[in-house]
Structure 1
């Protein structure tokens, strides 16, 4: 790019067809925010070459001329305007701290609304260009706007000295009056305030003339000394005369000072009084804050207590529909889902009022005790009603089957016993029995006895009817020549003669094939239906039994869990065996009686 005169000429050529005239123009480098970074180093592509020009649409000597800051970019056709800023919106000039040369600064305008884009940084070629540009801006701002922009991070005294030194060399671009430059001295911004210039031009000329008056007498030291003494005495006399003449003024000043001192004393007394009041007020405020803190803590505690009590009340609340299902509701099959749901709620409510589900601090509360007693009463009522219903239900089912002859064998019709319908009807109340066990395990004992007694009657009746019909349909043929020998227990072969027992054996085997699986199925169903906590009643094979014994031995040797489980389940097995004896009592004797009636 060309030198300064060439830049000035190119800038003037750029505004030749407009109303703007160029005051001054400078070559600068423009960068946005921070330097561009490429590979950890500054990139030269982060800065662009531009020209800053100050233009006005009026003569420089006129008032209220409108000054603009023009940003020009270099193109093939010369300098072209790229952006324009109005000088009246310039609010601050801030030096960039990262630039040690001091040639980089930022211009802040108060009309820029976009704060997301970093402001442009302008870098001058030298401090002289920077000072010349900034002093021109300050002078134009002072003369035309009546104010100065804030200067941040720059030594204004150094700038003023530079302007004074270069005022004669550049009269059109002289600096603004240093006494008019406003620099804020703030710890956060590092700014200095300068209100007076070091020397005015008039004062400098007076000093120079004064020194010139004494040039001729410097060589005569004694004469010069005497002359200075006389002038000193004259000045002292003038000072004494001025003091004497100003005595009334001094007395008036002293009088006003005494009045001010009395006012200060009164003010001091008032301040002491206000200090006492403020101290009492401060103590009152502290006490109020303490009470407020206590009230806040009390409010939080009360809120937490109310929350806990509400949760406890939710646990203690008994829905009316559950009470109706447990106390007066029927046990019909259609109402079983509501009854089972009420049983689940009752079980959960009883568990919720026991540790560890309920905190121990609530156990001794009267409301908890009353609610627990109410739940136990509700449980007792329900268990009693359900047990009575199931006993009657088992009896009614068996009585219906016993009275209906179509379930048994009849003359000329041998019928296999079928309990599928009985088991299907019993399974309807399987979950009810499970809940009865959870609520009161002892309530199952009379129910098991009632079920065994009722089903035993049915089994015995089925075995008797089946045996009678089987006996009637089976005939035993005898050999009349060998009856005595058979009765004597002869061990001869078949050629020796005897009764033909093949048909009897077939009948006996048929009865066993029918009733043994029936009894096993009934025993398995009974153990599952009546909620016995035992393994399924399936006899293991020899290999399975051996493997199970080996596995049980290994587990028992490893941890001893099997022995504990056996001890825990022994009582349950004993109860199951006792119930099965009651269930199957008489059926074995009935089979033998039926077979003996066949003549065996």
Structure 2
């Protein structure tokens, strides 16, 4: 018998070398043939199917306390070395099927449940013989049972046949397998484990003994099926007859059993009668006990109810009693700072008493009690009295605080001294009554409008103070800022290049505007935040920690990092807050409108003042405003955002006004009758653009780009209108001005995309104007030459080149006459062309480049003419292109 590849140690070592580095050990390796075709009846591969030689290896890997098993498919490389081809985990093996269409039984398929494409038929594996197939399958089944705890589905092979084969070939397997490998996987190949595992999993020991006995009987005497069947029938009849005989022999015993059963029945009937008597007596006793328990339960319940009622009445009486000290404080107490602790305690008691008499805190059964109604009315009177007194006091208190600050001039900016508004003392005094305001809101039965009058009074008083501070600060800020006013003649045609306008430094104007925002925007945000918290609005946090209003690097009020923190806690921390934030936010923004309305006028005055000094400073102010606007995220500072939006819009309007005036100055240029050379607004626009780029701050790029687009569009349109005033000189005006535009904006166009777009537009217009002007000069000097060439080109579309010399005006004689008149003294004609090009050009620096373009264009046209002559008049001689090129180079 040929040696099996499963016993080939060299093969196993080659497989181990192929998977070196994976920390896996090879348990078994066997050579197989792989195919995807079907098997023909002859047992060979079907037509068109080619078997591929592969090696299947079973490997294991120890990972902690667990062992993992794998099935690897290896193939031979071009050099005959094994290398990994496929890799499967045995835990995904779901099916082992031996193909029935293979007569030898050596072909099987392995089905895995994790394959991505189930539409492709799995590979078919063909072993060399049945023994190799059985050894591989038994190894796979044993590893699946030991390591995974389950067996895959086996199709097409008898499991008993596998067990018998394993039992018969145990010795062979033992002699060929070595147990040198350690670990759980080694048990699948040694003799004892192979025997025990296969027999335990496939056929039990008792079943095997019964089969051996049955087979032994079959061997001993049974040669035909019919005879064996007759023998079994005879034995069955004999057994039945013996059973009937044994039953008849036990008749006397049955009679004795029946007599015993009758006597037992009599005893049971007597016992049933006695039990009925006892059951009746017990039922009567049970009824007596239940009635006694009912009476006892009622007495206990009545006692418990009486006790609870007394406790509830005591509690109700305690709630209905009003302490005299609280009554005196609520009806006639003082609101001075020293008495605020007593006032707050009285408020807390009143709020608690009102809440205890209302649903759901109070039992609904109390609502109709006379005592409760009277006490509720008394508490309502106390509440109304206290709210009226407290509201009147706070309104007067707010007005007195603001009046005191307004009458003291030291709180405001004065001549020669800018005063930063300081509301630390005002907020400190207001914080004294913050908890009182919360209780006023609470005892008003959660009525959001109970503080309406107080809020309006506070807004009215503080609005007077804020407007006065802003007005005094803005006036002194403008008075202390010294800046010379720049005349708005940026693009005026009458302004000469020697004028030194717009050179004054006006940075202090935008600095003054920035200072105005730096001082007042954080102040207004802080005031909004303080007002929202102080006046008990249910809104989210107004200014987050570390926000723009806290810790401004340019300075802000020094009364603490969180000025809106009133140092108080929620009155009732056990109750959830109401979900009315959106309604409160609307009311808060309306109140802030009253609080801060009118202060925007002083900001507008600063913007107007800055615009009159230097309109270009609108760019800087626009960037400053955008930076502040991007920092205002809190919903409660809605008015501040509206103020910044209005400032941004006003600055944009002012700047657009300046742009419109400058565009109007540009349009005045077209009214002049005769303009030559570079128009004045071209170089002045470069100066203006340079200045505008210096002023850009923040996100003002869009504002400036829009101005550029408007300026340049008007400039180019005006230039085209001016050039059409005298068509004779139109191209000269265009090329000179477009060239000047490019030269003046070359540096800026490299860094400003908008100007770069207009730079390229001017470049294209310049090239077109140059081409038209150069062609006009060339045709003026060599009109007959190129008209002759044009006639030839036109005729070439309709007749052959050989017929052209016989056309009227195009004979060889006509050619010689034309050449004599056009090219005799060609150097003088070229010099005249140069003088004509130089005659009306005011920008001398453009002459060299234009002359080079002119020579190149003339040479290209002459070269085309020479090619036409060589084609139409091959025997005629004209000056060559090289001679003409040398002549132009020498001019």
Scaled by the length of structure 2, the TM-score of the pair is: 0.30
Q: Which one has a bigger Cα radius of gyration? A: 1
Scaled by the length of structure 1, the TM-score of the pair is: 0.44
RCO comparison, higher one (Cα < 8 Å, 6+): 1
